[in-house]
Amino acid sequence: MKEKIKYTDEPMGKVKIVKDFLPPPSELALKEETVKITISLSKTSIDFFKSEAKKHHTQYQKMIRRLLDEYAAQHS
């Protein structure tokens, strides 16, 4: 795919303008305050989250945080 793209001034045919539907960057930023803590978890749990995080190309701490947030939301 190293072929260079050649741009021309040729007509493109019928073009439809799509309304901007993306949220502004300010709405994409995390708004929730976070607090750093120290917690001891079992090696088995950490190994599980590290393995799953690797499969999904994310951070295991983020997965644990999302799991805890979801649990708290369901029980509030």
Amino acid at 34: T
Distance of CA 30 to the CA centre of its chain: 11
Query: For 3-46, how does the pLDDT look when each residue is reduced to its tens digit (9 = 90+)?
Result: 888 888 888 888 888 888 877 777 776 667 889 999 999 999 99
Q: Inform me whether the pLDDT recorded for 1 exceeds 90.
A: no
Output 20 or 58, whichever has higher pLDDT.
58
State the pLDDT at residue 76: 85
